[in-house]
Amino acid sequence: MTAPTGKVTCDITISADGYSAGHNQTEERPFGDDGSDGSGDRLHAWMFDTPDENRAEIDQLGAAKAFIMGRNMFGPVRGAWDRQWNGWWGDNPPFHAPVFVLTHHAREPQPMDGGTTFHFVTDGIEAALAQARASAGEGDVAIQGGATTVNQYLTAGLIDELRLHIAPLTLGAGTRVFEGVPPLKLEQVGSRSASQVTHVTYRVLR
């Protein structure tokens, strides 16, 4: 009997029109033009304004044993690592697990407080997933975002469970989940409404 492996999950908060971030990301505005101050407040109000009623979904965000994210989700630095940037999350990021950052520019692993270590993967999404799976053991691997990274994994058929958190606004432009992804058959395995968000969980069928 082989050890069970975890799922590859993806939680992503989107507007009603499917955007996870607006255009024009900057260091001060990691979610770009989202119609607020750019901090992602409006998309993510469900987490910050109504945490009690969304406790299960919030807890789920941190449950994976390894995470994968795109370079733009990690930070605003483009091209070579010509300045020290350790993510948007301060000294003790909320992952408490290995985080594999997709990049074209090699960099040494960056340990942080609280068990998070950022690893920089330069040989593609499948290599990153293999490393994340090895780290996670029987735990889940979470594709953390942004949407461009999620779409690459969806296109490659590598996400098992997609959890959309749909916020009550539209952005009209930006980075959109499913953009360029071939048609998917999904099984709705869960759906729950809260006051400011609708949570929908899909299993991606092969």
Q: Which of 78, 83, 185, 206 binds a second copy (CB under 8 A)?
A: 185
- We find the least distance from the C-beta atom of residue 71 to a second copy, in angstroms, to be 24
State yes or no: residue 37 binds a second copy (CB under 8 A).
no
Q: Quick one: tokens of 16?
A: 């009603």
CA angle at 123 for the pair 2 and 107, rounded to the nearest 5°: 110
Say how far apart CA 178 and CA 184 lie, in whole Å.
9
- We find the least distance from the C-beta atom of residue 167 to a second copy, in angstroms, to be 9
- Asked if 173 contacts 179 with a C-beta cutoff of 8 angstroms, the reply is no
- We find the least distance from the C-beta atom of residue 20 to a second copy, in angstroms, to be 13
In the complex with a second copy, the residue whose CB is nearer, 68 or 164, is 164
In the complex with a second copy, the residue whose CB is nearer, 4 or 183, is 183
Say how far apart CA 14 and CA 166 lie, in whole Å.
5
Element (H, E) at 100: strand 98-102
**Residue type at 140 in one-letter notation:** D
Q: Residues binding a second copy: what is the number (CB under 8 A)?
A: 33
Contacts with 71 (C-beta within 8 Å, 6 or more apart), sequence order: 78, 101, 102, 103, 104
- We find the least distance from the C-beta atom of residue 154 to a second copy, in angstroms, to be 9
Give DSSP secondary structure letters for 68-83.
EEEHHHH-S--SS--S
* Range in contact with a second copy (rule: CB under 8 A) among 3-11, 64-72, 110-118, 165-173: 165-173
State yes or no: residue 156 binds a second copy (CB under 8 A).
no
- We find the least distance from the C-beta atom of residue 191 to a second copy, in angstroms, to be 3
Residues 75-104 within binding reach of a second copy (CB under 8 A): none
> Under the rule (CB under 8 A), what is the footprint of a second copy?
16-18, 35, 164, 166, 168-172, 177-178, 180-188, 190-198, 200, 202
